[in-house]
Amino acid sequence: MDAGRMTATTHLPPGPDRLSLDDSARMARNPLPLLLAAYENYGPVFTVRVLGGPQVFALGPEATHRMLVGNAGNYVWRAGEMSDLVPLLGDGLLTIDGPAHRRMRRLVLPAFHRESIAAMAATVAEEAERAVAGWRPGETVDVHGWARTVAMRIAMRALLGLDPDDGDTGGRAAREFERALAFYGTDRLARRSHEPGSPLRRFEAAREALDRIVYAQIARRRRAGDGRGDILAMLLGARDDDGRALDDREIRDQLLTLMFAGHDTTASTISFLLYELARNPEERALLQAVADRAPGAAPGLAGTANRLEDAIDETLRLYPPAWVGPRLALAEDTLAGVRVPAGARVNYCSWATHRLPDLWSEPDRFDPARFADERAAALPKGAYVPFGGGSRTCVGMRFAHLEIRALATAILGRCTPELQSDHQMTVRPMPTLRPEGALHMTVRPRQ
């Protein structure tokens, strides 16, 4: 069978036998309750029939590990839903498969080795302290909008070597990238229109402007031959085994992919972390109290490294950035005992797997302690995959943790963010999870 062209008679895993417009709307706006209910009704592998065709979902550690590690070569990204990102990211790590992905990952990975990340730590800490220093006691801040700005500033400096305060190139690159990303928050049907002023036309204009900036920076750095320690410099110096360097297009695609993945991941995760700490003031106070007891720790969080890591891990459990992994099955396979035909569109979903009650006690409760003891070590493979898994584990995972730790340290060491009493956060499942709209919090000075 030609992958991607299933016939109407192809046997799919269990699920509703007809298209549901209601389920289509839920999948677009709030899929988690639908997926958890289907897991209860049909088991770990099931079919959801929505607009655009049937989608198979594989939840739980066994099926997830099979897709990500055990038989990963059978489940490809490029022909799945990730193809929507190709117009922006090109042939970046998120949108390629097979030998091309293995080659590019081998070339990009050294830029995120521990030593490379340590070299960027000063930039991250400087931006974090600068961003918090501008807050006034008692001020109400949209922490998600604030985090997006900080994450973009860090990306401009750490990835491209651009100064976000130059009043020109750095600022324009940040604005155009945000304009391009906005396209993926619009309605899918609206994206098809090519009329003047349509989301697609705005996206194309932003992408072209961003490309001019990125290609100009690549050319400038090639001419200069400088060895500064940003990601662009490392990509310029990367070589295949035969000595071949990356061309301009390859570097451009990897830079935009890293900007896409790192920018949204950091901004959303720090926002969700602050939200959960505001809803759990005892955990927030514990983080701050441990810091206060550590010699020389005030006003930062030097003594809370492990506890802060546990809180970040728990945030990533509840709100994994790579919440869904859409794939296309090249050949028939069996996931958790259920046959999946060739050509099926199959998705693992960490967001749902991380909320399964047979894996996690009180799965909706924010409980960093679950990562502080032997319970985390006892989890089966595939149970906790906030950054994907196997050969497609996010290369920037360590850098994202560095950013989140630095931002949390800068914030909690200086102030106590509090939710407004009437605020109800809604999670929006765009390409990555993010809060819907603004996330307003009041920043109280620490006593």
> Which residues contact residue 115 at a Cβ distance below 8 angstroms, ignoring those fewer than 6 apart?
none
Whole-number Å distance between alpha carbons of 411 and 133: 9
- The pLDDT tens digits of the residues spanning 331-365 come to 999 999 999 999 999 999 999 999 999 999 999 99
DSSP designation for 446: P
Of 48, 49, 95, 50, the closest CA to residue 58 belongs to 48
Whole-number Å distance between alpha carbons of 288 and 298: 9
Whole-number Å distance between alpha carbons of 441 and 139: 8
107 pLDDT exceeds 50? Answer: yes
DSSP designation for 233: H
Residue range 244-256: mean pLDDT, rounded? 95
Of 57, 261, 22, 304, the closest CA to residue 159 belongs to 261
**Residue-range domain boundaries for the chain:** 21-161+228-445
| Best mean pLDDT range from 109-118, 297-306, 378-387 | 378-387
Q: Is CATH 1.10.630.10 the classification given to domain 21-161+228-445?
A: yes
Query: Do 82 and 94 contact (CB within 8 A), yes or no?
Result: yes
pTM above 0.85, yes or no: yes
- Between 227 and 423, where is the model more confident? 423
pLDDT for residue 413: 85
Per-residue HEC secondary structure of 105-167 comes to HHHHHHHHCHHHHHHHHHHHHHHHHHHHHCCCCCCEEEHHHHHHHHHHHHHHHHHHCCCCCCC
Buried b / exposed e along 282-304 (16+ C-beta atoms within 10 A): ebbebbbebbeeeeebeebbebb
Query: pLDDT category, 398, cuts 50, 70, 90?
Result: confident
Residue range 176-180: mean pLDDT, rounded? 89
Whole-number Å distance between alpha carbons of 96 and 99: 9
- The pLDDT tens digits of the residues spanning 278-326 come to 999 999 988 877 656 544 444 444 445 588 889 999 999 999 988 999 9
pLDDT for residue 290: 65
Chain-wide mean pLDDT for the chain? 88
- The pLDDT tens digits of the residues spanning 212-239 come to 999 999 999 999 876 677 899 999 999 9
Q: Quick one: tokens of 317?
A: 């459990």
- The pLDDT tens digits of the residues spanning 406-421 come to 899 889 888 899 998 7
| Best mean pLDDT range from 36-50, 75-89, 375-389 | 36-50
Other beta carbons within 10 Å of 102? 12
Of 309, 345, 341, the closest CA to residue 324 belongs to 345
- The pLDDT tens digits of the residues spanning 35-72 come to 999 999 999 999 999 988 999 999 999 999 999 999 99
Beta bridge partners of 326: 347
Whole-number Å distance between alpha carbons of 446 and 218: 44
Q: What is the CA radius of gyration of the chain?
A: 22
List C-alpha distances in Å: 384 to 137, 360, 414: 38, 10, 32
